[in-house]
Structure 1
């Protein structure tokens, strides 16, 4: 009965949003009394009009010709969610919780960029992510409070000539895939699969890198390459803390990370001033791109091939261990096109393949905006705890992700709102799961965007069927229902 109440509450929120989006006629007034003498007709009451396109948004020109300007973008993504937790999950330590109904901040960001002229670009991006009542904060003794406001990007760029721009700083000019460079403002689905950011918060800073990059476009060929310093990570890890023959990030990694992404644009060309790739154009462009990318970091991983001795040495790094290169390859395709311009219909599809090499049997569990802070099993060696909504997201092996959406005709929700249903599928086949006899990973998403003002104001309702690997030989699927409310200016 409790699940039914949650479903009714979410449905009521979406219905109310759709109703609010309908055009309301002005209230009828009484006709004026007859005048004894002819009078000028009163001015006509303004009728409702369609929303003006957002265009350049909060942009301030600093020169008459607009060559000098700055722009501010601010957005919040709020999740209202019901989640059936993984087996053994605890809201906080000692508080078992089979399911959760919560509200959280998935993202809260500010982005500023400016150009002195078309040759110079500066970008500053800061904000918070993944705060709910029990996690995401830095309050002493209160883990959900006062989240850390941190810099996502701080980069400068110079245009060398027509085909080459170079930049440096904390940047998002990522390699691997289109979705590794995704804009979080215009997703088709409610969020990314996270397999697109396979090193997130390990050797990068929330999918950003400290280094130098080069980008450009030659005809219909678009490219971005970078060389970066990997962030120091896993400083408590030693050969003694590793499961036998299971890799982890090497705490003594000082080799540069190299990455790149290359795409050929068959139809309309996309903007490439900023690195953020659009998830859905809502029928405003005809885009068909194929791309490929890579990431390489020498000796980024390490493992211990033998069992631990009965007596550990004083320095655990005197134990025999191996280092492994981290290598990732990808190939993807993106297609977005209007179908009927009069009706406003459009179709969007994206598919990507990843090949990951993190060293032997590496698997990593991740749970987005995890509602649990304790409990859960550790059934997959070295992968972390399967609490809350976590499941194996990346690992040595391969992954597939695909999504498709259809923008319905303009009149489905009235003149002021649009409806865009979508479906997505994530698949992972990882060496570490094969080693313990577990099945491959499959995650299914089905949802719809209610676009109140394009991507600038929208509601997204998503149903997810997620595998619970608490018992890897007997996997059960758990439901998640998420209502995302998003506005960006």
Structure 2
């Protein structure tokens, strides 16, 4: 064992840890870093060409929040209309290794959603509610180059390439936002409905499966066949289906985009929400997810009926530099339309790191969504989402300011009134996207339990601190 550790130490020492400015695949045109002090990547090279390597990534997003709670909320058993919150939204460690041009492995592990009251065990003391969350793997897959992007022998770029991989993966269908890089978001956080199975039949948007991905010149594609995680919710008597995939059918997913301007690097599945003007992008895309017999209803007592799941998306992403080059201004716009079919009137609620539970002594009307910061996330029906950001004129060699706004429109069959959600905020970038401070205010509607119409609105302010290497 000592010899193994000694060999690894010597290998790392001799090769050195390279702080690389090259964020694109070999033989792709290099982009000059937007900021002169961009930190780059951590990579250990095992040969002179850099074809054999071990690359690491580390990221952390820490949140401080001010939450207007839904009516009838208690936090830690105490009634609260307003809660000051702190927590870790994401901590990730990634490892990507290639010891052959034709074969690579990718791992990502960490924690999500640990706050002062959620993420750990139950009770108090050393293993209390908010303490000691379990680390887990988000990605763990192998990948083989069938037709590599760079020819093994000539080192020329293949416009038509194909890779196949298997494992717990994030090469998702439906939309660009369903393949989002969480360290390069335009807004402070994702809207989450971009992952239709989040923590239901997937593990933080991942499923076990086999995927194909690559390029047909300017068309970038990804398709997968997966085994969804088991769900076993029991439906109440009525027509509304719930998540129960007891028959164990496979799921199928895919997404493809046409790249009119600059091509994007896709060595991993994650697509940025903004390049801060370092690329000129215009992409249109479409995707799908389908799973037979994914849901179950009980139309009559003791009579059960299965339902298929179908999710479709179509989107567009534009990022262009604006004005004089020395000003380094840019505009980023992304818009996506989703059609979701989870069966008649299916609704799903969600509250990110929700601190609230029911106040048992509260006697006034409560929201249909529940307590804390819960909202209607998705369900059968349509969702339209648009976000836009603008990088202000250059005023520093290391700092950039990017105001942004986002709008969500949800027309869900289980509600009697369409929902309008709003986000507005700004990103302060340091060393490109290696460090970011994001401030965002979000406004959400609340629905009456009986009428299923909006009766109130609540807000939430997020201050996010991010480091990503």
The one-character-per-residue Cα deviations of 1:270-300 (angstroms, maximum 9, x if unpaired) are 0011100111000100010000000000000
Query: Does structure 1 residue 229 correspond to structure 2 residue 232?
Result: no
Q: Which residue of 2 aligns with 1:26?
A: none
Query: Does structure 1 residue 89 correspond to structure 2 residue 69?
Result: no
Cα distance, 1:477 vs structure 2: 1.2
Contact persistence 1:209–1:230 (CA under 8 A): yes
Q: Which residue of 2 aligns with 1:102?
A: 85
Cα distance, 1:470 vs structure 2: 5.1
Cα distance, 1:474 vs structure 2: 4.3
The one-character-per-residue Cα deviations of 1:427-468 (angstroms, maximum 9, x if unpaired) are 11111113xxxx212110000001112211110010111112
* Count of matched residue pairs: 413
Q: Which residue of 1 aligns with 2:131?
A: 145
Moved over 3 A (4+): 373-380, 470-474
Structure 2 distance, partners of 1:330, 1:159, is 28
Q: For 1:83-482, what aligned pairs fall within 5 Å after superposition?
A: 83-92=67-76, 94-138=77-121, 141=124, 142-162=128-148, 163-234=161-232, 237-239=233-235, 242-306=236-300, 308=301, 319-340=302-323, 341-375=325-359, 380=368, 386-411=370-395, 414-434=396-416, 439-469=417-447, 471=449, 472-482=452-462
Q: Which residue of 2 aligns with 1:13?
A: none
**TM-score scaled to structure 2, two decimals?**
0.85
Structure 1 distance, partners of 2:454, 2:171, is 40
Cα distance, 1:243 vs structure 2: 4.9
Cα distance, 1:238 vs structure 2: 2.7
Contact persistence 1:222–1:263 (CA under 8 A): yes
**Structure 1, unaligned runs of 5 or more:** 1-49, 309-318
Q: Which residue of 2 aligns with 1:6?
A: none
Structure 2 distance, partners of 1:253, 1:270, is 39
* Change over 3 Å in CA distance of 1:101–1:335 after alignment to 2: same
Q: Which residue of 2 aligns with 1:484?
A: 464
Cα distance, 1:181 vs structure 2: 0.4
Q: For 1:42-81, what aligned pairs fall within 5 Å after superposition?
A: 51-55=36-40, 57-81=41-65
CA RMSD of aligned residues (A): 1.6
The one-character-per-residue Cα deviations of 1:6-32 (angstroms, maximum 9, x if unpaired) are xxxxxxxxxxxxxxxxxxxxxxxxxxx
Cα distance, 1:321 vs structure 2: 1.5
Structure 2 distance, partners of 1:111, 1:470, is 43
Pick which of 366-375 and 154-163 moved more: 366-375
Pick which of 138-147 and 107-116 moved more: 138-147
The one-character-per-residue Cα deviations of 1:337-394 (angstroms, maximum 9, x if unpaired) are 11132100000000000000001110001011212144498865xxxx5111111111
Cα distance, 1:416 vs structure 2: 3.0
**TM-score scaled to structure 1, two decimals?**
0.82
Contact persistence 2:36–2:397 (CA under 8 A): no
**Structure 2, unaligned runs of 5 or more:** 1-34, 149-160
